[in-house]
Structure formats: C-alpha cells, structure tokens
Chain A
Amino acid sequence: MNAMLATHLDPLAASLFSLLTIASLLLAFVMLGSRWLKDYMLAFAAQSWLIGMLSALVGYYGGYRELYWVALLTVLFRGIVLPWLILRILRRLNTARELHEILSTSTSLVIGAAAVIFALVVAMRLTADLHIVSNVVVLALTVMFSMKLIGFLMLALRHEAISQILGILVLENGIFLGAQILVPGMPLMIELVLLFDLLVAVACFGVLVRYLLTHIGSTSSRDLRRLTG
C-alpha cells in the first residue's frame, strides 16, 4: 500500500485540511441558496481562495514545493481574475438576480443536503473498499463528490447564463479541492494548464454571453427554445 500524505497527517494539519474543505462545502451551499448573482460570484471567489490556501498547506506539509505555485495561480486566476471577468460581464448585463427558479431556495438547499449525504455514503464505501482509515480522505472525497452534485444541481435549476458558468466552475472547483488532498503529486504541468484552460473558457463564455444578449435579447436559458426535436 502506498504512503498517502492524507493518511499520515499530524493532528494540526488534519484539522486545518478539514476546516478548509468543510468551509468550501459551506460556500457551495451559500451559492446554492443565494439568488443574487453578485453574492454567488463572491462566494465562488472566496471558495477559490480557500482552495488556494489548501494547496499551499498541502505543499507545506507534504513537501511539494511546486504546490506553492499552484496555490498562487489558483488565487490569482480563480480568486481574482475570473471573478473580475464575471463581474465585468455582470455589469454589462442588467440582471442582478435569478428571476425564475424552478425550485424555491429552501427546497434546493434540502436537495443539496441529500446530495451531500449520498456523497458521504459513496465516499465511505469507497474508502472501506480501499482499506483507508482516514477522516481527511473521507472528507475530501465527500466534498469532491458533493460539490460535483451541487454544481450539476445549480446548472439544472438556474437559467441565467452567469449562473450556468458559475455552475461549471463549481464542478471544477470540487475536483481541484479533492485532487489537492488525494493526489497532491499529480504533475504540476497538468494543474497549471488546467488553470489556464479555465481562463480561456471563461473568456469564451464572456464573448458568448455578449452575443446571446445582442441576438436573443436575454441571457436566460428559458429563452433558448427554438431548437427542438
């Protein structure tokens, strides 16, 4: 069996890791519960800062010096540049909040909670199969899976173009978070390119949103129903 970093942590590191992952999950719920697009975006930025801090901590405790770079770039790209880009798009649109929601906020929070329980069950079965006894690993898996599910939930329940972009970013934040703890040695280049790729993606999204607005007159996917069958 391998010597995974997450299974050999000193208590302080373990509690710091847990604190950061749980705080990120809470922020995902903040996003799920908020209707104001700006709050939504701020919660995403805060989540990215937490993930950046987590990278730095994993780098410190695991001795992966290249993770400091990843931390720096995560904070820079996902914590500052992306939110700034989205804020610019938001200013150009005149939608400040999600107007039509399929489910009420409280219902979607309850569904989100159910998703976390499901993720926990999967994570516990998975770690039991792998004979890993570590709360940090279970927690990381739970948060990774549940942020994935919450991201999909947001994509399904929200109509605004910005909400959908943020939904996709949350999907990927979950993977970033899990990957830091589970596979901190994943080659540096991949992580850097992933960050870069995301920036390109959001730039593309921005252009598209502008076109949506000029050609369809709205950025809500409720108005995208010409193509069927």
Chain B
Amino acid sequence: MSMAARILVLLLSPALAVVLGLAVRRARFSEYLNLAASVAVLLVALPLPFVAARPTTFLDGYLLVDPLGAWVVMCVAVVYLLSSIYAIGYMRHDASRKARLPLFYALLAGFALTMLVAPLVNSIGVYWIAIELTTLVSTFLVGFERNAESMEAAWKYIIVVSSGISLALLGTTLLYWGGTFVYGETYQLTWASLVHAAPQMPPVLLKMGFLLTLIGYGTKVGLAPMHTWLPDAHSEGPAPVSAMLSGALLNTAMVGIVRFLAATDAAGQGALPHAALVILGVCSLLVGALFIVRQRQIKRLMAYSSVEHMGVLALGFGFGGTLGVAGALYHMINHSLAKPLLFFGAGNAMHRYGSKRIDDMRGVWRMFPVSGTLWLCGAVAITGAPPFGLFLSEFAILRAGWGGPYLWAAIAMLVLLIVIFVAFLNHFRAMYLAEYPADPGEPPVRAVPMERDSWYAGWRVLPMALPLVPLLLLGVWWPASWTALFHTIANALGAHP
C-alpha cells in the first residue's frame, strides 16, 4: 500500500462516516458505520509510524507524514476504536437519546477526523486552525447531554481554550516575523522551514514566540495552571467522549509544543524553553496530586489523572535527550491505552449507581466481578505500578531527568507520583472493599443490564479488556523496533543522547 493510499484511507473513512451518517440518519446504521470507520483507521494507523521512516509531504506540502506525527496518529486511532466500541453500549443506555444518536456519531467521527489531521499538518498556521477545529467539534460532544452541568462545561471549555489558543496564534505570528529575517517577506512557515530558519532568527523573537505558543497549546494540552477547563469537560461529556478528549486530544496539541521545542533546540536557545516546559510539568503533577487526594467525583478523578499524565509527558520532553523523548513517546501510547479503560469503568459505575460521587460507589467487586477487575487493573496501570507499560515509561522519564540539570524536577516527580499512587488507589480501595455506611438505607442501585448479559459484555466490557493486553505486554517487553523508531524521532527533533 503506498503512503498516499494509506493517508487517503486514514482521512476518508471518518469523513465518509460523517457524511453518510448524517445523510442516512439511522441510529443503528450510524453506530456500525462509525465502528467500521474506526477499524479502518486503526488498521492503517498501526503500521504508519514504522513505514513513515522518511518524512513525506502530500497535498502541495500541506500534509507531512513523519514518524512523530504518525506516532500521535496511532495513539488517536487506538482511542478512537476503543471509544467507538464502548459508545455503542453506553449511548444505547438512555433510550431517549436515540433520535440524536446519528448526530452523536457524526460528531464523534468528525472529532476523530480533526485529531487525525492535526498531527500531520505541515504548515504551522494550518496546525493552529486544525487544533481550533478540534475544539469546535468537541465542544458539542462535551455538551451533548444538554443538561445544566454539561452546558456549563462546554461553555467553559470553548471560552478558556479559545482565549488560550489565541496566544499561540500571537506566538506563531512572531515566529513568522522572525522567519522573514531569514527568508524575506513571503514564505511558507512549515515545521521544517522553522527549524531551518531558527538558528538565524533573532533569539528574542524565537524565545518569545515559543513561550507564547507553549502557553497557548499548553492550555489545550491541559498543563497546569491553564488546565481549568479540563476537569469540567472531561467529567461532563459522555464517557466515550471523555476517553477521546483525554487519551487522544491532549496528545495532538502536545505534538505542536514538541515541534516548536525542536526549533529552539536547533537554534541553541533551548535552555529557557526546556526549563519552562519542566516547570509546567511539575506544576501539572502538583495540581493533579492535590486534586486527586481530595476528589469526590469519579470522572473528575480521572480528569485530574490526565492533568498529571500530561505533566509527565511535559517532563519527558522537557528533560529531553533520547531517553526523555523515548520515555515520553512510550508514555503517550501507554496513557492512550489505559485512560479509555478507566473512563469506561467510570461510565459503567455511573450508570449502575446512578451517581457521579465516589462515596456512592461501594462494593464494586460484587456488582461487576469481571469489568470491576479490569477497572482495578486499569487503575493500577495508570498510577504507574509494574507490571504495566506506564511503569516502564515513567521510569525512563525519571532516568532521563536524574543527574541532569533538572534533578529537582525529577525528585519532585518521584514524590508526587508516589502521592498520586497512594491517593488514587485509596479511592479504589474504598469503592472495592469498604461497605456502605451502617445506616440501613437501600443502596442506590438502579436496574441496568447485568454484566452476565452477553450484549453488555460485548460492548461495555470488551473495550476494557482489549487495551489491557498491550498494556501488560508493553510493561514486560519494550519492543526493539520501537527503540529504533524512538531514536529516529529523537534525532529528527535534534535531541542529544
């Protein structure tokens, strides 16, 4: 299969799912159409990072397929498939929504499309537009339930992210201005031309441009203290949407920051940018830890865990070097595998208990013998305990920072990760092992399909079981071909070994 054909399938399948789904407007049809699109996307995206060893451009140079972009596309595709499977079971739960399901799946496929395009965009201005489009589409998914809470979350999401990302536009303008000192008035500002021009650019414009884009795209990544939209949006959207936001969307904005960072590295001006990224990373871990300890709502718990993991990614890229970059990329896929599992478990529990509060969820094991076990494994995985993949990736990032100029950040990361491990699993301990308080009230359990039901098991438990296999595998075996790929990406980003 040629590269052009791969890209065509990758982008056309979700696009077709949007168009056909809206044209036919049948709930069942839309469900399976979207599922088929996500399977096609994953089949194309899985080998993509490994066949895209040499960067190639398409469509007059507007699309760039390089290993880094392809890696992020692969993460998006994994989450898209898992969410599409889970959505079928989750969204049918409420029969009153049936008329709006075609719209939901069209939005879901459209959201996936924007996230598949963004990492592959070659022009920096168009990248900004792609990221803005992801916001516009996903706002309607966040507000899909149309109750007061989800409307509030959607409004905060679009306002905070749009105003934040306008700083990235200012940064991009300044970087373009910097480029005119090298190329003259009119040129195409692509990632490659930025890296090429960076060494001759006035350093003040380069640094200022980077800091503004860092804050702008950092808002979208959910780095603290620009994370304020994230817990609301992640907790109020339907569970499959939360999984897409957390596991896929945040990475697509991170890739922009990483590419800007590479430009400052190429110019030898990397010290300040790396320090800024490390500081934001530690801030995110700190905020994540503080809010995880005292969290009362199950999906907000998962949302703050996303803030934490984006902090870990920022630290990985901030520490830099081959090991830091490799650890961060490995962490990206591990997080994309583990986070949907957690949100799906939370979605199941919320439907079962009819509440969002952790305090109302007791005796999970009795209620969900199978999916409860899977959920618990996911929780152990996301806190970075062995034998799951996140342990290896967090360890690699820690080693990248250890002994370098950011030893303090590595120590802070270690301490905060331990705090989060204890606090996060303590919530799970309460849900699995603690009994209801002594007063003999009826537990607020609603009649929902039981786990034994094969239909339920297929759509709502299977997407929780699927990611655990690779997570476990990646925890005990770091594939050699991936190491080679990470080296290629780190070299392309100009990271020193």
Could you tell me which A residues sit within 8 Å of B by CB distance? 1-5, 126, 129-130, 144, 148, 151-152, 155, 161, 164, 167-168, 171-172, 174-175, 178-179, 182-187, 189-190, 193-194, 197, 200-201, 204-205, 207-208, 211-212, 215-216, 221, 224, 226-227, 229
Contacts and interface: CB of A to CB of B under 8 A. Distances in A.
Contacts of B176: 183, 186
B267 to A, nearest CB: 15
Contacts of A212: 151, 155
Given A187-B186, A190-B123, A200-B133, 20 more contacts: A2-B181, A3-B185, A5-B185, A126-B204, A130-B204, A164-B159, A167-B163, A171-B166, A174-B170, A184-B185, A197-B132, A197-B133, A208-B139, A208-B154, A211-B154, A215-B151, A216-B151, A216-B152, A227-B152, A227-B232
A130 B207 CA distance: 13
Contacts of A227: 149, 152-153, 156, 231-232, 235-236
Contacts of B152: 216, 224, 226-227
Contacts of A200: 133, 136
A226 B208 CA distance: 37
A2 B180 contact: yes
A64 to B, nearest CB: 8
B447 interface: no
Contacts of B177: 182-183
Contacts of B231: 227, 229
Nearest to B157: A208
A interface secondary structure, majority = helix
Contact of B143 (A5, A208, A226): A208
Contacts of A130: 202, 204-205
B163 A215 contact: no
B239 to A, nearest CB: 17
Contact of B155 (A167, A208, A229): A208
Q: Which 8 A-B pairs have the closest CB atoms?
A: A185-B186, A190-B125, A185-B185, A171-B166, A224-B152, A227-B232, A129-B204, A215-B151
B163 A204 contact: no
A3 B185 CA distance: 8
A1 B163 contact: no
A161 B162 CA distance: 14
A164 B155 CA distance: 10
A201 B177 CA distance: 26
B202 A129 contact: yes
B151 A211 contact: yes
Nearest to A179: B173
